A and B are shown apart, each in its own frame.
Chain A
Amino acid sequence: MFKIINRILSFVVLSLISIFLITACAVPVQNTTQPEKQPTTLTIPKLRIAAAADLTLAFKEIATQFEQETKIPTEITFGSTGTTAMQIENGAPYDVFAAADVSYIDGLNKKGLILAGTQQLYAQGRIGIATLKESNLSIKDSQDLADNPSVKKIAIAEPSHAPYGKAAKQALEYCNLWAKVESKMVYGQNVQDTLAILRSGNVDAAIIALSISKSDEVNFTLIDGSWHAPLNQTIAILKATKQEENARKFVAYVNGEKGRVVMKKYGFLLPSEFAKK
């Protein structure tokens, strides 16, 4: 009896191992998983866009409209600008990069990774203080962040690679409050992650982008744009793109009439109304 069970078990284990080995070799090279689920059209490959985290709401809308109009499928990955730039340097296969700050695009340009002449300023971002609607905390301005005793923890994006976190730190330094609030700081990987930390209820306030704040979710107080270096959001096509024409169409759409309507809706300053510093 034991011998039979032994044999059956060995057979099952060997079969499983064989199946795994065979299927592992047969799996074709897939694109990495993306948040956008699109009906795949086998003829037109997806336009791969890397976008800064603050564009999460705005670009999802623009992409949907763009796809409806041009029938070009898109695939957007959101993340902190610094991280995405680092990934592109190391070969990440994107077609378009929409950064939250021009310095990262310039850096990639110096390394010869940007298609000449495609770099465009498309918006300026705004930051502000956010608190959850359900918490009864009301923050009037950044001085409040430092002085209010109920504010024990504040979340911002990591300044070393997220432009919105850097702007938050600059604004607090400008108000001479950084030394006071530094001990309360918690850092998110990007501005969207910072909002997630706020949502988890484990911090009292967060400094996030205006463009990802939803009025039914957070109380938002804008921070004066002159307190930090302007967030010059720049978009560019990557040299390694295999879909130059479609990429150009997308960039033109973002900076075109319809794209600008969406950007304005989410609180971005358009090129015509920039605060020059």
Chain B
Amino acid sequence: MMISELMPLYLSLRLALTATFIGLLIGLPIAWFLGNTRWKGREVLDSLISIPMVLPPTVLGYYLLVILGRNSWIGNLAESLGTPLVFTTRGAIIAATVVSIPFFIKTARAAIEGIPSNLLDAARVLGRTELNIIFSVVIPNAWKGIAAGLVLMFARALGDFGTTLMVSGGIPGETLTMPIAIYNAMLAGNQAAANRLALIMAGTALLVLALINGLTRQVGRKRKR
């Protein structure tokens, strides 16, 4: 019971952490771009990025399946390289990232936009390059919002069900994450297992979030903010 029930948990955590990390790498530059530049198409880009938040997860999963599956040029390319995207862990990571990144971008953008522009201007007057300003002014001032965005992104990736199921199937040991395991147990009428798994998942999620919140408070105290 132990190993086979903990495997979905391990897969879920691994997936959520990977998606969060990738989301941070991709999302932070986008959030900065949306928050700091004056490009006319900003709001259009913002709406496009928000689409995964509004679409029903299964619809999103269906579209991803079509875009990444064998019948598309992306999927075909991936297959020919021996690394198919659908029904694999890779597909699950892509699905989880797509689904959760809008939460991060929106929150991080708001935090970045909230930085008083005179701070940025002061840095510019002092001769700092834009790149330098990102690391020395923008991030230190917006880090709380960015951290909040990370938490949201992690939570969303951890709890994703419909999209990952559609794109990566529920392959035991590979893509059978906790929400899918709970769903399968429920479908099979195994209420005891479903309840157990649901409890483990809820407990783990709370623990992780409590840890992150604690860390945020700690770091905030050290920096006296």
Contact = CB atoms under 8 A, between A and B. Distances in A.
Q: Do A and B bind each other?
A: yes
Contacts of B93: none
A50 to B, nearest CB: 14
B65 interface: yes
A189 interface: yes
Contacts of B70: 201-202
A259 interface: no
Interface in B175-189: 184, 186-189
B84 interface: yes
Nearest to A182: B172
B171 A89 contact: no
Interface in B34-80: 65, 69-71, 75
Interface in A131-169: 152-153, 158, 160-161
A3 to B, nearest CB: 26
Nearest to B75: A202
Given A187-B171, A200-B69, A80 B87 contact: no
B86 interface: yes
For chain A, the bracket of interface size reads 20 to 34
Contacts of B84: 152-153
Interface residues of B, number: 17
A185 to B, nearest CB: 7
A89 B187 CA distance: 12
Interface in A80-118: 80, 82-83, 85-86, 89, 107
Contacts of A197: 169
B170 A187 contact: yes
B171 A161 contact: no
Contacts of B184: 158, 160-161
Contact of B87 (A158, A189, A203): A203
B189 A82 contact: yes
Nearest to B88: A153
B174 to A, nearest CB: 9
Given A200-B69, A201-B69, A203-B87, A82 B169 contact: no
A161 B87 contact: no
B187 A86 contact: yes
A89 B189 contact: yes
Interface in A183-227: 185-187, 189, 197, 200-203
A203 B75 CA distance: 13
A89 B188 CA distance: 12
Contacts of A186: 87, 169, 171
Interface string B70-108: 110001000000001011000000000000000000000
A208 to B, nearest CB: 16
Nearest to A161: B188
Nearest to A83: B187
Contact of A86 (B65, B170, B188): B188
A86 B69 contact: no
A86 B189 contact: yes
Nearest to A203: B87
Nearest to A107: B189
A196 to B, nearest CB: 11
A203 B86 CA distance: 10
Nearest to A160: B188
A152 B78 CA distance: 14
A264 B23 CA distance: 54
A186 B187 CA distance: 17
Nearest to A197: B169
Contacts of A85: 189
Interface in B111-139: none
- Report, nearest first, the 9 A-B pairs whose CB atoms are least far apart: A161-B188, A86-B189, A160-B188, A186-B169, A83-B187, A202-B69, A161-B187, A201-B70, A202-B86
18 contacts: A85-B189, A89-B189, A107-B189, A153-B84, A158-B170, A160-B187, A161-B184, A185-B171, A186-B87, A187-B171, A189-B187, A197-B169, A200-B69, A201-B70, A201-B71, A202-B65, A202-B70, A203-B87
Interface of B: 65, 69-71, 75, 84, 86-87, 169-171, 184, 186-190
Interface of A: 80, 82-83, 85-86, 89, 107, 152-153, 158, 160-161, 185-187, 189, 197, 200-203
Given A86-B187, A86-B189, 16 more contacts: A80-B187, A82-B189, A83-B187, A86-B186, A153-B84, A158-B184, A158-B187, A160-B184, A160-B190, A161-B184, A187-B171, A200-B65, A200-B71, A201-B70, A202-B65, A203-B87
